[in-house]
Structure 1
């Protein structure tokens, strides 16, 4: 808390000193991303599947899907399938000891540090309140009082996730689990509350969820959540996907399963941290290659028209397709169980791709639970 107050004070002082200086008045337009070929030299070797098919939920490795997509049956409400109950509530920034709230002034973004191309200076961020939405899915099959596995999703509410869980639980393709969909604290990218939560390379967001969100979930939805990290999953898209991996990376004692759409494994962290100078780009640049293998199972996707350098930085660390390709390489080299899906004719966090792939992705990440040893 004291660190945040000191940080907010510095931001305020710097903003006063730099009035009239070159802070971008408007966010520059994002260039139209080119369509990337999954067979580009240097990309991972991947198995191309017939159009309309998903990667098998029990297969590791790299796959190419598309170019057309249709919703999986599990993404639709099915007759005769028990429907879980959804509990909705909100959290105010004034109630948080970890995230009291920041925002970046509308119409402003930031300027690259001329001495450090990996660093973006933002002088228009200041303390600001927020209200966060939380949705909790409790399946019909949940036995009150029992410790249940669960999945935590970013940028909620995600009602599609809850429909998928209804169907997959009924088909016994995933365990009877709680779904927790957490809204972000508003804004996007550097200088915003969402950016601070999702792109910061630290355990802070996972600690916020563990200490401030999960106790409320248990109380308001009358459930008990497992402490077993093998029974806990994270998921998200874009920066929410980077948050999903960051949560597990810094707290593997809490999470072992990660599901990511259009993962922002790029240099998006703010404030800049010399310990992780490349932000989430550092996952494939140094962190995963140079760290002992962690007990993770990972599913990830990227679109052929995913983002490429959508801001003023020119650090060669803002190509979402290349970042995901690099992730697949380092995960394979380290021996992780992972599935990487390259989606043709797909943009950033493409809704049609998610509608087709989410059920099989959920089935993939929940393989092996509960383990025979724990049984």
Structure 2
């Protein structure tokens, strides 16, 4: 068959464009280097490494190293005869939100501000978004009673992940944690500077905690048929990456609302946007000045990070974008100030701590709720 000349011409014209697109494709981000647990600047870890499935004790504080092989905890699986809680979901539209309406998004990452290398110049545009709320209510919950609860960030946008509900089913049945509600909240979307998730999670203020208090929790009580405690000792918050720094910000700035914090790969780095002169280093300021220079707050915090966690993932080269260093610094200032904390360094783990999470999470939750009376929660 003779190919029409016009098609040959069009194909020829298209080839340079295809080649140009291929040429402009950004290279893959290099993998972060592995940081040794005994490198200069690291805490003096208690070594549990080389023992798969072994976790730090739930009644001890301090710094521990685990891995490099991991075993999924039995509590992460459904068990016969264990009462199973119910899980329900509902959504919130940005147009109905008071504090975060409209949402924001960016088209390009942004450029370093020539007048301030600690921040970016980012162009944003307004967006509408849908937020998903997933609620776990344990089988042992007594209608009308006030329940302790845990707020999780980056909650599912579709089918619920049943890992946390199954863990709580088992821990509650074994009386290792109080009977509690879990509230998993998805972000407004995107990531970091210029996106809605970044505005919600990376901002150094109590604004997001206030949003949850005033706009999310009343809907949880209404839609799930529960009552939630007002006692900050009975309120926990957890998250990974920016969700982890958000969890700490909620307890730090609204200590009247939250006392218990669980983080994995916490983004305790300089990622706040827009620039705030009160905290010029963003969440880096937690360990740089806020915690060292402030009276001790009644915060109990569990942290974990991977030995291959993030390092300088963007154009900012300000010395405040190493997730491992940031978490090491957090552990050391928490210890120096006398906080109740446990810090776990996970060998052979990247951002979010990978397979280590399935081994550590039940232990982390049990540690987090130490000191809270199970009887009080009934």
Q: TM-score, normalised by structure 2?
A: 0.90
Q: Find the counterpart in structure 1 of residue 260 from structure 2.
A: 257
The alpha-carbon deviation at position 161 of structure 1 amounts to 1.3
Q: Does structure 1 retain, via aligned residues, the 8 Å contact 2:106–2:195?
A: no
The alpha-carbon deviation at position 349 of structure 1 amounts to 0.2
Q: Find the counterpart in structure 1 of residue 119 from structure 2.
A: 119
State how far apart, in whole Å, the 2-side matches of 1:80 and 1:356 are.
22
The alpha-carbon deviation at position 26 of structure 1 amounts to 8.8
Determine which of 285, 288, 291 is the counterpart of 1:288: 291
Q: Does structure 2 retain, via aligned residues, the 8 Å contact 1:102–1:191?
A: no
- The alignment status of 1:221 with 2:231, answered yes or no, reads no
- The alignment status of 1:314 with 2:313, answered yes or no, reads no
Q: How many pairs align? A: 349
State how far apart, in whole Å, the 2-side matches of 1:367 and 1:167 are.
17
State how far apart, in whole Å, the 2-side matches of 1:361 and 1:373 are.
21
The alpha-carbon deviation at position 374 of structure 1 amounts to 10
- Structure 1 window deviating more from structure 2 (320-329 vs 365-374): it is 365-374
Change (3 A) 1:112 1:134: same
Q: TM-score, normalised by structure 1?
A: 0.90
SS of equivalent residue, structure 1 residue 64: strand
- Structure 1 window deviating more from structure 2 (112-121 vs 202-211): it is 112-121
- Structure 1 window deviating more from structure 2 (48-57 vs 225-234): it is 48-57
Q: Find the counterpart in structure 2 of residue 37 from structure 1.
A: 36
Q: Does structure 2 retain, via aligned residues, the 8 Å contact 1:154–1:236?
A: yes
- Structure 1 window deviating more from structure 2 (158-167 vs 186-195): it is 158-167
The alpha-carbon deviation at position 347 of structure 1 amounts to 0.4
The alpha-carbon deviation at position 35 of structure 1 amounts to 0.1
Cα deviation code 1:89-124 (max 9, x no counterpart): 000000101011333334x1010112211111102x
Change (3 A) 1:297 1:26: farther
Q: Find the counterpart in structure 2 of residue 241 from structure 1.
A: 244
State how far apart, in whole Å, the 2-side matches of 1:58 and 1:339 are.
10
What is the RMSD computed on CA atoms of the aligned residues? 1.7
- The alignment status of 1:167 with 2:170, answered yes or no, reads yes
- The alignment status of 1:180 with 2:180, answered yes or no, reads no
SS of equivalent residue, structure 1 residue 248: helix
Cα deviation code 1:119-171 (max 9, x no counterpart): 11102x11110001100000000000000000000000353111110110001
State how far apart, in whole Å, the 2-side matches of 1:143 and 1:364 are.
24
The alpha-carbon deviation at position 253 of structure 1 amounts to 0.5
Structure 1 residues without counterparts, runs of 5 or longer: 1-24
The alpha-carbon deviation at position 58 of structure 1 amounts to 1.0
Q: Find the counterpart in structure 2 of residue 85 from structure 1.
A: 86
State how far apart, in whole Å, the 2-side matches of 1:359 and 1:173 are.
10
State how far apart, in whole Å, the 2-side matches of 1:198 and 1:104 are.
14
State how far apart, in whole Å, the 2-side matches of 1:104 and 1:221 are.
31
Q: Does structure 2 retain, via aligned residues, the 8 Å contact 1:231–1:370?
A: no
The alpha-carbon deviation at position 370 of structure 1 amounts to 2.7
The alpha-carbon deviation at position 31 of structure 1 amounts to 2.9
State how far apart, in whole Å, the 1-side matches of 2:96 and 2:324 are.
38
State how far apart, in whole Å, the 2-side matches of 1:29 and 1:256 are.
40
- The alignment status of 1:109 with 2:112, answered yes or no, reads no
SS of equivalent residue, structure 2 residue 193: coil
Q: Find the counterpart in structure 1 of residue 12 from structure 2.
A: none
Change (3 A) 1:102 1:373: closer
Q: Find the counterpart in structure 2 of residue 151 from structure 1.
A: 150
